[in-house]
Amino acid sequence: MIDRTRGYYNEKSETMSREEREVYKKERLSEILQYGYEHSKFVRSLLIKAGLRPEEIKELKDLEKLPITKKADLVKAQKENPPFGGFETLSGKNLKRIYISPGPVFEPGERDYRDIRWAQALYASGIREGDIVLNTFNYHLTPLALMLDESLQMIGATVVPVGPGNISMLIQLMRELKVTGYIGTPSFLMAIVDAAEGMGLNLQKEIHLQTAFVGAEMFPESLRQKLEGKLHILIQQGYGTVDVGCLGYECREKKGMHIPEDVIVEIVDTETGKQLEMGATGEIVATNFIKAFPMIRFATGDLSYLIEEPCPCGRTSFRLGKILGRTDQVTKVSGIFIHPWQVDEIMHKFPMVANYQVVVTRKEYRDAMSLYIELKEEVSDPHTLKRRLEREVEETLKVKGEVIFT
Amino acid sequence: MIDRTRGYYNEKSETMSREEREVYKKERLSEILQYGYEHSKFVRSLLIKAGLRPEEIKELKDLEKLPITKKADLVKAQKENPPFGGFETLSGKNLKRIYISPGPVFEPGERDYRDIRWAQALYASGIREGDIVLNTFNYHLTPLALMLDESLQMIGATVVPVGPGNISMLIQLMRELKVTGYIGTPSFLMAIVDAAEGMGLNLQKEIHLQTAFVGAEMFPESLRQKLEGKLHILIQQGYGTVDVGCLGYECREKKGMHIPEDVIVEIVDTETGKQLEMGATGEIVATNFIKAFPMIRFATGDLSYLIEEPCPCGRTSFRLGKILGRTDQVTKVSGIFIHPWQVDEIMHKFPMVANYQVVVTRKEYRDAMSLYIELKEEVSDPHTLKRRLEREVEETLKVKGEVIFT
């Protein structure tokens, strides 16, 4: 049996000291800002708007001086300057592929650039040379499946490029080829497991999976436990977006997602764009070093926080915590932001809650928040529960809300 | 405007003399037979069954001494020796991908092998460095789309990996990215053209296609003329199968399909496996030189013939003529094989024929063939037409048939 728990894709960079990593990232940032200033209309205009020359961004902290770029800004830039919105930094013959992400945003891929971030992620998830890996992401249009295909090859694994296809055929392939690795969404893996059980298969004996790497959607802890319990394997997740690539990946310790060296991840206040302190929740903003499509402070729309403490796996990078939701799910009540993940956290403390819905209404210039709650079963003293819930809501959200049992 | 009519992907090999090519193919054949004998159980058993050692196959003509391998033989071999049926010639870490072709047949792809046959085909079709090419083949499971993706990169073109997706979105992409090349099936290109016309677009001004390469299905001359007429571009076709790869490609002269150097194509009598003379119609049988999955005399099931005369394009290879149909569409009437393409050829001489159907029945040990024919319009003298048709049928097919107008 292969030891999937130890080792690194790139030990030197994954275990460098924090000071070395900071220096490395600063150097890469200078390079990309210089390159972007010279070759990318879009990046140059960011710097000009901020009244800065690239060499004036010296520290990662200085990034705050530059504006945030949102997906909508990319779409607008590409409409105004087709096709790449001022990212035409390389001539056609240096472009390997053009990907399309929703928007649509056209994303040029550099012919000779090897992005090792997904390879680091796959290696950390346990995939090794010689593994036969089912790639169930969709190879069409968006870059994820093709990049992971390349990353699996960088590790020396063999790819079965199946896409999100016919599940009963996939199960047949997994059995006949003795597939050892899975990459795809967690929900598709669950669908495969359900179908295999439905066919009466013994998951450990007849499905030969040894490791799985999931991404591209939320991965609740409950689903992880279910899958790991049924398959008797560890399942790791990675996080990234089509526009900026891999931003974090779990190691076998599953204590947050390691941020790769070749990207800068900031957690910022969505309103001000200022970097938040370690542990505080804010929007994930990323800066990558890809010449064909350099993203400087790209706003992902996802909410998370940074973890500083060292990881027992030996990797020395900061980590991203759980993805807590989307900035666009935020609602303002009486001037205060309410995030769905905050309400989730409250409800987790009350195991008798089955479902809930938050409704915000406005009556004559005053906001009112109601929480409609469905209980798993009747409780003996609903009045006390209502009071406890309302107290918790007010303490956590700093806003009053009325609890209504439905 | 790029000159798409001249040049070669690999001038030296594409223009070598016929003697040099013969020597080159003989050398490659010796190598693969030696390699297969040593590393592939399947290939070794072919040689052993024929009572030969690899060095006893000296000339391309000697291939006749080896048995034909049919698709069904591959499926059977893989069932008996999973997963690759005795083609486990490379260790896992040397396999880049595993593809699946209907059967299913598992096809190992070698990590470091670069198959240039599709690149030759794409270059001959007019695709050049700097082209932006829509790849509409399906990237999942079968190798064609991924191999063509790689081949486009070998030429220096940029790939848009769209797959056979949403047509109205594809048209938007083609316009916004100014896509210059198309690869896919001819029927999908026709569907794109139909949709673009339905949207009221000017095909020459608003769709920027300059070249198209089609394959994976029959390409009737009538469809080519329609597409070329509407798009004002030349359209080339390539021919191959998932198991053996590219076997032929058109140049801009469109006088048959050039056979690449890195494959041996024989036209054989399906019954005896003997090579037929130049120009005679028989089954296409291919031998490739791919170590991970060496196919020796693989029967494609397709019917065609060889063209010997030199091509004005300068390429010196033999060419494959039109694909005339499938061996499995053949029917025996009174001991004589009747192929659909033969009946097609007869009917082409009678422009008034709209549709026809051949029905073979058996009455007390005697076969009877009836040809049900639908005419485009009424003819003045149906009796004479019936006689002419029946004479033509008997002369061409060497079997009597009764013509019935429906």
Average pLDDT, chain A: 93
- pLDDT bucket at A339, cuts 50 / 70 / 90: confident
B103 touches chain A (CB under 8 A): no
Residues of chain A contacting residue B165, judged by C-beta atoms under 8 Å apart: 140-141
Global ipTM: 0.87
- Cβ A111 vs Cβ A96: under 8 Å: yes
Among B51, B27, B46, B14, CA closest to B295: B46
* Cβ-proximal residues to A299 (8 Å cutoff; 6+ apart), any chain: A68, A69, A70, A71, A270, A283, A284, A285, A327
Average pLDDT over residues A232-248: 95
- pLDDT bucket at B325, cuts 50 / 70 / 90: confident
Average pLDDT over residues A159-188: 94
List Cα–Cα distances, A189 to A165, A185, A254, B96, B268, in angstroms: 12, 7, 19, 23, 47
Spatial separation of the C-alpha atoms in residues B333 and B233, rounded to whole Å: 44
- Is residue A180 over pLDDT 90? yes
- Cβ A258 vs Cβ A248: under 8 Å: yes
- Is residue B385 over pLDDT 80? yes
Residues of chain A contacting residue B100, judged by C-beta atoms under 8 Å apart: 160, 162, 173
pLDDT, one tens digit per residue, over B105-122 is 999 999 888 899 999 999
Spatial separation of the C-alpha atoms in residues A292 and A290, rounded to whole Å: 6
- pLDDT bucket at A2, cuts 50 / 70 / 90: confident
pLDDT, one tens digit per residue, over B268-316 is 998 899 999 999 999 999 999 999 999 999 999 999 999 999 999 999 9
Contact flag A139-B139 (C-beta cutoff 8 Å): yes
Name the residue with higher pLDDT: B361 or B191: B191
By C-alpha distance, the chain B residue nearest A111 is B153
Look at phi and psi of residue A178 and say left if phi exceeds 0, alpha if psi is from -120 to 50, else beta.
left
Residue A401 token pair: 């809300």
Spatial separation of the C-alpha atoms in residues B102 and A285, rounded to whole Å: 45
- Is residue A103 over pLDDT 80? no
Model pLDDT, residue B312: 95
B382 touches chain A (CB under 8 A): no
Name the residue with higher pLDDT: A360 or A199: A199
- pLDDT bucket at B329, cuts 50 / 70 / 90: confident
Buried b (16+ CB within 10 A) or exposed e, A26-43: bebbeebbebbbebbbbb
- Cβ A211 vs Cβ A1: under 8 Å: no
- Is residue A364 over pLDDT 80? no
Domain B330-405 of CATH type 3.30.300.30: yes
Strand partners, B105: B101
Average pLDDT over residues A129-139: 96
- Is residue A174 over pLDDT 80? yes
B79 touches chain A (CB under 8 A): no
Among A75, A117, A66, A76, CA closest to A274: A66
Among B80, B95, B98, B99, the residue to mutate for chain A (most A Cβ within 10 A): B98
By C-alpha distance, the chain A residue nearest B137 is A140
- Is residue B132 over pLDDT 80? yes
Model pLDDT, residue B5: 86
- Cβ B67 vs Cβ B49: under 8 Å: yes
Among B81, B15, B17, CA closest to B44: B81
Model pLDDT, residue B104: 82
Contact flag B130-A82 (C-beta cutoff 8 Å): no
- Is residue A40 over pLDDT 90? yes
Average pLDDT over residues A236-253: 95
Average pLDDT over residues B203-220: 93
Model pLDDT, residue A91: 85
Residue B94 token pair: 């040397």
Model pLDDT, residue B327: 86
Name the residue with higher pLDDT: B183 or A271: B183
CA distance A290 to chain B (A): 17
Model pLDDT, residue B190: 96
A104 touches chain B (CB under 8 A): yes
